[in-house]
Amino acid sequence: MRIRTLIVDDMPLARRRLRECLTEDPEIEVVGECANGREAIAAITAHVPDLVFLDVQMPQVGGFDVIEAVGADVMPAVIFVTAYDEFAIRAFDVNALDYLMKPFEEARLTTAVLRAKRQIARRGAGDLDSRLRHLLDQIKGETRYPKRLTIKSGRHAFLLPVEDIDWVGGAGNYVEIHVGRQTHLLRERLNELEKKLPPGTFVRIHRSTIVNVDRIRQYQPTFNGDQIIHLLDGTRLTASRTYVSNLKAALDAS
């Protein structure tokens, strides 16, 4: 019997590499690919795969949201794929769930697939279901603010410490992350990124701007109620009057 497998990842290159590696295994049949969580929910329902490679970090609907939507009791075997998520990795280890770190090595993939085959062969006792439920309980029970963000550039990705960020500007589906003289582009809406940043350190000062309060040197009012923010590196930002109370509260707390 061939193992019907679904690949879920928002990076086309990651999906292609997984597919190429999996085609070398005669027991694996890739029945589909999904570029986001919503596609994954529909595909799992439609194809009923035996195994899913599930990306943890996807915009809007992430890997954990997929499990919650489908239901832990009907989820196929899962191998989580993550660029970096410190809390998630800890939760995987605690619940004995398998995962691949991007960029993954073929040897590690082979080991994960072998474990999944064993799991699929003996499934029926509900052990996986309970572990997935415990995982979701842990994810819900702890507010997670990652220490690093994954910045993707072409075929590569690097980890940016959150504490290094000076400020963030939003433009549609993208954000510009400013670190000193460098600017990094991330495909994510500002509202979504804001949820990942610790509120004690980062504060929204404009509908399109978030600032690290530790980088603020001074601020001064303008005639219309806005505030001009001066950062330590000389950058000037505008805090609109709608967000001035948020700014002052964050500065008082810090």
**CATH number, position 85:** 3.40.50.2300
Residues 162, 127, single domain; the answer is no
Residue 97: what pLDDT?
83
Using the 3D structure, point to which of 141, 163, 184 is the last residue of a domain.
141
In the block, which residue shows the tokens 């499990």? 67
In this predicted structure, what is the pLDDT of residue 35? 92
* pLDDT at res. 242: 86
* Model pLDDT for residues 38-62, shown as the tens digit of each residue: 999 999 999 999 999 999 888 778 8
Q: What is the pLDDT of residue 125?
A: 46
pLDDT of residue 30: 96
Positions in the chain whose pLDDT score sits under 70? 84-87, 94-95, 123-127, 140-144, 253-254
Whether the CB-CB separation of 233 and 168 falls below 8 Å is answered with no
- Whether the ω angle into residue 49 lies within 30 degrees of 0, i.e. cis, is no
pLDDT of residue 140: 67
pTM given for the model: 0.58
Domain end residue (candidates: 117, 141, 165): 141
Q: The domain spanning residue 190 has which CATH number?
A: 2.40.50.1020
